[in-house]
Amino acid sequence: MGAPQGDWYVKSVEKTFTVLGAFTEEEPLQSVSEVAAKADLSRAAARRFLLTLTELGYLSTDGARFQLAPRVLNVGSAFLSSLTLPAIAEPHLKQLSADLQETASVCILDDVHVVYVARVTSPRLVSVAVQVGTRFPAWATSMGRVLLASLDDADLQDRLARSDVRRFTPSTVPSREALQAEIRTVRERGWSVVREEYEEGLSGVAVPVHRGGRVVAAANVSLHQSYGRAAGLEEILLPRLRRAAEDISADYGIRLTG
């Protein structure tokens, strides 16, 4: 995404969100020097931003390192509340999860990532730490590939060019060429399955959720070993997932026209 143009643009706002973006799930604790490097700021400037955000309650510190504070959830919670999709999706995900005894989720596309906005966890899922607000690289997930497949070619190529496509596990798609071929297949058949490409033990199948004739989200079900390469997936799981996505789309469409 190119830098915005215009005399209205406030550079300090961009820097503030760049500083907040330095804190990730993999690196939740950051020193002043680490944030300065990630945000391309001087150490003095990074310190001022960090101390200001701490004073405002968006960060906390032990004196040496900083981390996000619970107040940052206010922004995300406001977005989820205004979206209404989570509330619409949840009863359908609960039914789907109960029918399949699997975890069911809905994600949206945020630039080159997918973000979980609704999730109903299977009772037997105990090890995969995924929750509402969790972000994954779109290209490496079934939900993301469904959403990427819905884009026009120019938009798709732009997002893939800005994605960090690399091998996470032995099962990860081996090249960008193979990834693009897989996304073309998803576009043609209307669903995606990804098996342990981003994290071992994390597999899933996804289909699109529509609103007003366009894809706005992806519905996903986690995959258990009992679902074979084709039979169990296409005969049992996929039809039920599609039905749930259609029901979510129908209810979400009512909000659009009602």
For the chain, give the percent of residues with pLDDT over 90: 54
* Cross-strand partners of 219: 106, 207
Q: Do residues 108 and 29 share a domain?
A: no
CATH number, domain with residue 226: 3.30.450.40
205 assigned to some structural domain: yes
The pLDDT score that the predictor gives to residue 257 is 43
Residues 100 and 162 grouped into a single domain: yes
The DSSP secondary structure of 151-169, one letter per residue, reads S-HHHHHHHHHTS----SS
Name which of 106-110, 125-129, 152-156 the model is least confident about.
125-129
Whether 43 and 163 share a structural domain: no
- Residues 137-165 have a mean pLDDT of 93
Residue 4 lies in a domain: no
Indicate if 168 and 242 belong to the same structural domain: yes
Whether residue 211 is found in the same domain as residue 103 = yes
Whether residues 244 and 168 share a domain: the answer is yes
Asked if the model's pLDDT at residue 112 lies above 50, the reply is: yes
Residues 149 and 214 in one domain: yes
> Are 106 and 175 members of one domain?
yes
Which pLDDT does position 73 carry in this prediction?
79
Domain CATH code at residue 51:
1.10.10.10
Give yes or no: residues 208 and 133 share one domain.
yes
Q: What was the pLDDT predicted at 126?
A: 47
Residues 219-236, mean pLDDT to the nearest whole number? 68
Q: Which residue has the tokens 């590939």?
A: 145
Same domain, 139 and 177: yes
Identify whether 1 is part of a domain: no
Cα separation values, 162 from 110, 133, 136, Å: 13, 21, 14
Q: Are residues 19 and 113 in the same domain?
A: no
Q: What is the DSSP letter of 39?
A: H
Cβ 172 vs Cβ 198: under 8 Å: yes
> Residue 15's domain spans which residues?
11-71
- The pLDDT of residue 194 is 92
pLDDT for 59-74, tens place per residue? Answer: 999 989 999 998 887 7
Give the pLDDT of residue 256.
44
Count structural domains, the chain: 2
Full-model pTM? 0.70
> Are both 141 and 196 inside the same structural domain?
yes
- In-domain check, residue 79: no
Q: Could you tell me if residue 226 is inside a domain?
A: yes
Provide the 3-class DSSP secondary structure of residue 7: coil
Least confident of 40-54, 100-114, 212-226: 212-226
